Structure 1
């Protein structure tokens, strides 16, 4: 009988052209599909909960696949799958879900983090973005809190996407110090292409004193990507968590 499974995985995005299949580069989706096909001895169609761009990392990505090949021990199957994957992709767990559950459309929230440092650190070169200017994080947190008051985030969306709506419900958004890093956390029901990196770039303009909190609000209200700041580098961004209702599992 055909069954559907959720794969929970993490990966370092440095070596990949993002999550999604690419014609001219290796993607995480491609590597994982090839490993699954080797184990199950059949082509596998893998659907991710979202797509991360080149160089972006994931602490928690979720993807679903269907197969009629029996998998009696999911933990053992996950271990075998891990043995076929490179060091920078790791399977956390595999769970059976109800046949109609969709990794992307049934996600109720997603959380991203963006990491920045001020000092040069060779060990964080691929895992945080470096900004050497003086930054006012109190002002940035005041601006970040304003995100919860809006729903249309066209100003932070990549242009010419296939999104049917630019509306998102932001549930929390804040900066916090974590050892030598400053980390921006944002949770929403959905995200637009390039949204987090554009938000962080604009918040940094607030932190540098180039924009006020009121200016930040006006940028959101303009619904114009050209009004917002530049997108920050990919290596500081992490897909951190994806949440689902508890009744999706078989």
Structure 2
């Protein structure tokens, strides 16, 4: 039995997220169809986590097991890319330890969120267009509130354990483009988009720093802006190949 790790990139705009859903086009669903065509059997595909509808990824890990004595890795990669839709590309294929599980091996993830301060038809498919002046300095101050290990349940759609650790937030502005890079150990449903929405609200003068602080303290219900999915990209991730899953 071989445990095979795929590193993939996908344009998620025309998918209902990663997770397979009945009668809906998903990233995992398309990959499973191709694997079934190649191996002539159903394959259980394990992803490193769900992505929201419309969200893309530059680096995403998933793995599956197949009964085979030998696998031609380069040929498998070529066959998959030939059969997969253009929005999905297999970047690498390798064998990993039998107990490896993509879902539990993730050490950290980095998301990028793309904003354009203005209107740009060329950028529109991947950027959130905001035709107003955004105060970067105010957002730099506000981002500090999100750093560290905290309960992010007020910044997501989630009813379970909301404790996450945000290690780093970068805000880069150049030629009207504002790029948010957020690194953490785990992210909850719509959490990144709500963090970005809160920072943008501060940058536009719609919210004060104390509003975000009070939300973490549970002192106030904060109606949140959820940034559009199209601007969110899973940029990078670290996994532990030797983790006993």
Same fold (TM over 0.5): yes
Aligned length, in residue pairs: 244
1:176 shift after superposition: 0.7
Alpha-carbon distance in 1 for matches of 2:196, 2:219 = 16
Distance 1:171 1:197, change over 3 A: same
In the alignment, is the contact (CA less than 8 A) between 2:96 and 2:241 conserved in 1? no
1:248 shift after superposition: 5.5
Give the TM-score of the pair, scaled to structure 1. 0.91
Q: Cα RMSD (Å) of the superposition?
A: 1.9
Secondary structure at 2:147's aligned position in 1?
helix
Q: Which residue matches 2:155?
A: 156
Q: Which residue matches 2:140?
A: 141
Alpha-carbon distance in 2 for matches of 1:83, 1:33 = 14
Give the TM-score of the pair, scaled to structure 2. 0.93
Q: Which residue matches 1:230?
A: 225
Q: Which residue matches 1:194?
A: 190
Alpha-carbon distance in 2 for matches of 1:209, 1:71 = 60
Name stretches of at least 5 consecutive residues in structure 2 with no aligned partner: none
In the alignment, is the contact (CA less than 8 A) between 1:155 and 1:228 conserved in 2? no
Q: Which residue matches 1:242?
A: 237
Task: Flag as ranges the 4+ runs of structure 1 deviating above 6 A.
Answer: none
Distance 1:179 1:7, change over 3 A: farther
Which whole-Å deviations, capped at 9, do the CAs of 1:116-151 have from their partners, x for residues lacking one?
112322232221111112111111121112211441
Secondary structure at 2:61's aligned position in 1?
strand
Name stretches of at least 5 consecutive residues in structure 1 with no aligned partner: none
1:180 shift after superposition: 4.0
Distance 1:69 1:124, change over 3 A: farther
Alpha-carbon distance in 2 for matches of 1:219, 1:129 = 24
Q: Give yes or no for the alignment of 1:129 onto 2:132.
A: no
Higher relative strand content: 2
1:239 shift after superposition: 1.0
Distance 1:72 1:22, change over 3 A: closer
Alpha-carbon distance in 2 for matches of 1:71, 1:172 = 42
